[in-house]
Amino acid sequence: MTLYLTEETTASEIAAAKASGFVHAVKWYPAGATTHSHQGVRDASRCDPAFAAMEAHGLPLLVHAETTDPRVDIFDREVFFFDRELSPVLRRFPRLRVVDEHVTTQQAVQFVRAAAPHVGATITAHHLLLNRNALFDGGLRPHHYFRPVLKWEKHQLAVLEAAILASFWEPTVLRIRVATRHPPAAAPASTPRTRRSNCMPRSSIKPER
């Protein structure tokens, strides 16, 4: 089970979650960044007590890494999140175990490679297979819209390279494992995007213990 992080999550709740044996991580959704995230985090500094408890108890923080600042271009929101929101948290809590979920950019890959061994990431199959041209190929393609949004081809290639290198050559550097959770056939073309994204195979860059 994974807890949904809010600005009201307390250190005692984190301690109880860890002690339960059923909760294995806490998910940070920036408020408004994706589906069902309206009760997510608006000011990360208000979560410092929870972050401190997670660091102390070794409970991983799973991050949807997109800023929700409307002034930032939608294709740049992952990069801004790493620079403005996640990096300050890691400076305050350097031993916090972090998994950056579904990374989509060259900068995100570089961030993970440069980070401490307890910082990792996941990669979703559609970000390996598609770039933002797929959104408009032959007309508007709504089933190719999901969050994080598809990026430029250079980012697609960087994420693909990271998956290949980590799977076959550099597992200790990128901390990656490749696993298929659900077959692609489980998601027909008419499936709404929220279900489709949940039915895709997934590659995972995970932090070492």
Question: Positive or negative CA dihedral for 133, 191, 35, 56?
Answer: negative
Q: Can you give the pLDDT at residue 175?
A: 53
CA distances, 123 to each of 32, 83, 167, 189 (Å): 21, 19, 12, 21
pLDDT digits (tens, 9 = 90+) for 133-150: 999 999 999 999 988 999
Counting the structural domains of the chain, the total is 1
Predicted confidence at residue 167, as pLDDT, reads: 62
Dmax of the chain from CA atoms? Answer: 53
The per-residue pLDDT for range 28-77, each reduced to its tens digit, is 999 988 888 888 999 999 999 999 999 999 999 999 999 999 999 999 99
Estimate to the nearest angstrom the gap between the alpha carbon of 193 and the chain centroid: 17
Contact by Cβ (8 Å): 86, 63:
yes
| Other residues' Cβ atoms within 10 Å of the Cβ of residue 70 | 8
Give the C-alpha separation, 44 to 47, whole Å.
5
The confidence score (pLDDT) of residue 187 equals: 42
Tokens of 58: 């070794």
- Closest C-alpha to 153, from 169, 173, 133: 133
The pLDDT of residue 180 is 38
Is the per-residue pLDDT at 13 higher than 70? yes
Domain at 173, CATH number: 3.20.20.140
Query: Which tokens belong to 163?
Result: 């998956």
Q: Does pTM surpass 0.85?
A: no
Distance CA 87, CA 160 (A): 24
* Residue 168 confidence class, pLDDT cut points 50, 70, 90: low
What percent of the chain has pLDDT above 70?
79
Position 11 scores a pLDDT of 97
Give the tens place of pLDDT for each residue, 77-110: 999 999 999 999 999 999 999 999 999 999 999 9
**What are the structure tokens assigned to 172, written together?**
């200790």
Q: How far apart are the first and last CA of the chain?
A: 19
> Residue 121 is encoded by which pair of tokens?
């990431």
Q: How confident is the model at residue 179 (pLDDT cuts 50, 70, 90)?
A: very low
Which structural domain, as residue segments, surrounds residue 42? 2-205
